[in-house]
C-alpha cells in the first residue's frame, strides 16, 4: 500500500509511521530506493525523521564507515568511506558535533583530529578485536626490543597505542607508510602492528623487513583458502576481492586486495558482472545498492561491533548528546602526531 505521493503507507506494526513522517522523509526514501524496500521503510522512517531533525538542531554531521548497515549508510550519513576517508573528513568538518557511525577507534580518531568539536559514538561498546589486542605497554616493550626501528600502527588501535607510535597507517596506505618511514629512518625495517595478517600481506609486497605482532581481526581471520577456492569454482566469472586483514593465503588467491574504499573503487571502475567481497557483509549490501549492474555473491561475516550502531541509538545519541568521546590531552597530542605523520605521507 502506498500514500498518494508514492510513499509506503503505515502498517499496524509501524504505528509511528504517519503521513507527516512519510512526507518529511520522502526525499530520503527516493534516494535509498535501491537499498531499502517498501516493506522496510515504514519501520525505519520515524527514526530517520527524528535523526534528520536532530542533526539540523545540533548542527551535527554523520560520518559512517562502509560496514554500517544499509539504513545508516544510505539514509542518514553525510560522509561515508574507509578509515582513511573518515579520518580525512574529520579534519575538514565544520559542524559543531560529529557523530561517528563506526567503531570506537574511529570516533577517537575523529576526536583526536578535531579536539574542539563534540564527538559522539552511539554505542561506546562498539569495539574492535584489533584495537583490543594491543596496549601502550606492549608498544613500549616492542620499541625497547627493537630500538631504532620505526613503529607504524594501524588506525584500528586506541589513542594510547597511537600515542606510542611513530606513524599510523590504514589498510589503504600501509605499504606506502612503511616504506616512507623506513626510508626516512634510514633502516630497511619497520614494526607494523597490531594486525599480523595485514603486516604479512604488506611484507609480501615490499622490500622492507616487517616485524609483526599477533593481533587479528575476528571477522577477517575466519576466511580460509578452501572457502575462496570453492567460491571460485562455483562462480568462475566473479571478481574475488579480499580485505588485507584476511590471511595471506586468502589475499594471494584473490584478484584484488584493498581497503573497503579500494574495494568500492574496484567495483566502480572495473564494473565486474559478478563480485565476491571477502570482508564484512554489510559492505556487499551497500555496494549492491550503488552498483546494481554487478551481482554480489555473498560470502561474508558480520562484524558484531559495527552492528552495535543502530538508527535508534543514533537518534538517542543526538537527543541526549551521549556518548561523548574524551581523550587525555597529552595522549591526544601524541596520537595526533602519529596520525599526522600518516596524512603527510599519503
Ligand atoms: P578500512 O579502513 O579498509 O575501511 O578497514 C577498517 C576495518 O575495520 C576493516 O575491518
Ligand atoms: Fe575491527 Fe575486524 Fe570489526 Fe574491522 S571488522 S572493526 S577490524 S573487528
Nearest CA to ligand 2 atom 3: 303
Q: Answer whether 305 contacts ligand 2 (Cβ < 6 A).
A: yes
Sign of CA dihedral 250, 255, 259, 264: negative
Return the ligand number nearest the Cα of 302: 2
pTM summary value: 0.96
Dig out the grid coordinates for 276 from the structure: 565476491
Q: Answer whether 315 contacts ligand 1 (Cβ < 6 A).
A: no
The answer to whether residues 104 and 37 belong to one domain is yes
Q: What is the DSSP string of 25-42?
A: THHHHHHTTTTS-TTTHH
The answer to whether residues 48 and 98 belong to one domain is yes
The answer to whether residues 93 and 165 belong to one domain is no
The answer to whether residues 90 and 171 belong to one domain is no
Dig out the grid coordinates for 5 from the structure: 505521493
- Rounded CA separation 265/343 (Å): 20
The answer to whether residues 9 and 119 belong to one domain is yes
Return the ligand number nearest the Cα of 215: 2
Q: Answer whether 133 contacts ligand 1 (Cβ < 6 A).
A: no
Please give the pLDDT value at position 10: 64
| Whether the Cβ atoms of residue 180 and residue 345 lie closer than 8 Å to each other | yes
The answer to whether residues 109 and 20 belong to one domain is yes
* Residue-range definition of the domain harbouring residue 48: 4-128+307-320
In Å, the largest CA–CA distance within the chain is 70
Per-residue pLDDT of the chain (346 residues; tens, 9 = 90+): 666 556 777 666 888 999 999 999 999 999 999 999 999 999 999 999 999 999 999 999 999 999 999 999 999 999 999 999 998 998 899 999 999 999 999 999 999 999 999 999 999 999 999 999 999 999 999 999 999 999 999 999 999 999 999 999 999 999 999 999 999 999 999 999 999 999 999 999 999 999 999 999 999 999 999 999 999 999 999 999 999 999 999 999 999 999 999 999 999 999 999 999 999 999 999 999 999 999 999 877 999 999 999 999 999 999 999 999 999 999 999 999 999 999 999 9
Nearest to 157 by CA among 302, 334, 346: 334
Q: Answer whether 83 contacts ligand 1 (Cβ < 6 A).
A: yes
Please give the pLDDT value at position 300: 75
The answer to whether residues 106 and 229 belong to one domain is no
Q: How many whole angstroms from its chain centre is CA 98? A: 15
The answer to whether residues 109 and 143 belong to one domain is no
Q: Answer whether 132 contacts ligand 2 (Cβ < 6 A).
A: no
The answer to whether residues 200 and 338 belong to one domain is yes
The answer to whether residues 336 and 205 belong to one domain is yes
Peptide bond into 66 cis (omega under 30): no
Q: Where are the beta strands (DSSP E) in the chain?
A: 60-65, 79-81, 97-101, 118-120, 151-154, 167-169, 189-193, 209-211, 239-242, 256-257, 274-278, 295-297
CATH of the domain at 279: 3.40.50.10800
**Angle, helix 329-345 to helix 83-90, in steps of 10 degrees:** 110
Please give the pLDDT value at position 3: 62
Nearest CA to ligand 2 atom 8: 128
| Dihedral-angle region of residue 333 (phi above 0 means left; psi in -120 to 50 means alpha; beta otherwise) | alpha
Q: How far, in Å, from the CA of 197 to the mean position of ligand 2? A: 13
Please give the pLDDT value at position 303: 97
Q: How far, in Å, from the CA of 173 to the mean position of ligand 1? A: 12
| Whether the Cβ atoms of residue 82 and residue 262 lie closer than 8 Å to each other | yes
The answer to whether residues 206 and 135 belong to one domain is yes
Q: Answer whether 260 contacts ligand 1 (Cβ < 6 A).
A: yes
Q: Answer whether 221 contacts ligand 1 (Cβ < 6 A).
A: no
128 Cα nearest atom in ligand 1: 8
Partners of 278 in the β-ladder? 242
Q: Answer whether 283 contacts ligand 2 (Cβ < 6 A).
A: no
Sign of CA dihedral 99, 103, 104, 106: negative
67 Cα nearest atom in ligand 1: 4
Choose the residue to mutate in 66, 129, 157 for probing ligand 2, maximizing ligand atoms within 8 Å of C-beta. 129
Return the ligand number nearest the Cα of 303: 2
Q: Answer whether 245 contacts ligand 1 (Cβ < 6 A).
A: yes
What residues contact 60, with CB distance under 8 A and at least 6 apart?
54, 95, 96, 97, 98, 99, 120, 318
The count of structural domains within the chain is 3
Q: Answer whether 219 contacts ligand 2 (Cβ < 6 A).
A: yes
Please give the pLDDT value at position 1: 62
The answer to whether residues 31 and 88 belong to one domain is yes
Amino acid at each position: 500500500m502506498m500514500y498518494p505521493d508514492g510513499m509506503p503507507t503505515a502498517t499496524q506494526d509501524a504505528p509511528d509511521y504517519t503521513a507527516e513522517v512519510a512526507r518529511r522523509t520522502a526525499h530520503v526514501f527516493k534516494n535509498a530506493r535501491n537499498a531499502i524496500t517498501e516493506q522496510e521503510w515504514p519501520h525505519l522512517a520515524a527514526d530517520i525523521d527524528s535523526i534528520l531533525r536532530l542533526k539540523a538542531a545540533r548542527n551535527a554531521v554523520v560520518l559512517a564507515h562502509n560496514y554500517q548497515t544499509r539504513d545508516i549508510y544510505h539514509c542518514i550519513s553525510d560522509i561515508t568511506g574507509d578509515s582513511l576517508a573518515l579520518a580525512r573528513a574529520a579534519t575538514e568538518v565544520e559542524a559543531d558535533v560529529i557523530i561517528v557511525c563506526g567503531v570506537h577507534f574511529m570516533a577517537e580518531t575523529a576526536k583526536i583530529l578535531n579536539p574542539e568539536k563534540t564527538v559522539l559514538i552511539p554505542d561506546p561498546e562498539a569495539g574492535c578485536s584489533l584495537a583490543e589486542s594491543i596496549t601502550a605497554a606492549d608498544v613500549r616493550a616492542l620499541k625497547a626490543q627493537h630500538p631504532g626501528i620505526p613503529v607504524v600502527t594501524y588506525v584500528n588501535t586506541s589513542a594510547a597505542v597511537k600515542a606510542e607510535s611513530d606513524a599510523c597507517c590504514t589498510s589503504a596506505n600501509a605499504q606506502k607508510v612503511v616504506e616512507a618511514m623506513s626510508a626516512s629512518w634510514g633502516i630497511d625495517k619497520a614494526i607494523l602492528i597490531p594486525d599480523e595478517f595485514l603486516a604479512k600481506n604488506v611484507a609480501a609486497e615490499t622490500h622492507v623487513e616487517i616485524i609483526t605482532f599477533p593481533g587479528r581481526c575476528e571477522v577477517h581471520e575466519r576466511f580460509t583458502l578452501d572457502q575462496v577456492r570453492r567460491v571460485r569454482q562455483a562462480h568462475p566469472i566473479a571478481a574475488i576481492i579480499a580485505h588485507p586483514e584476511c590471511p595471506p593465503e586468502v589475499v594471494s588467491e584473490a584478484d584484488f586486495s584493498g581497503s573497503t574504499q579500494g574495494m568500492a573503487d574496484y567495483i566502480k571502475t572495473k564494473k565486474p558482472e559478478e563480485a565476491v567481497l571477502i570482508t564484512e557483509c554489510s559492505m556487499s549490501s551497500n555496494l549492491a545498492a550503488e552498483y546494481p549492474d554487478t551481482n554480489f555473491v555473498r560470502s561474508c561475516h558480520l562484524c558484531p561491533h559495527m552492528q552495535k550502531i543502530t538508527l535508534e541509538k543514533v537518534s538517542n545519541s543526538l537527543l541526549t548528546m551521549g556518548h561523548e568521546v574524551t581523550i587525555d590531552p597529552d595522549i591526544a597530542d601524541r596520537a595526533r602526531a602519529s596520525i599526522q605523520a600518516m596524512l603527510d605521507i599519503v
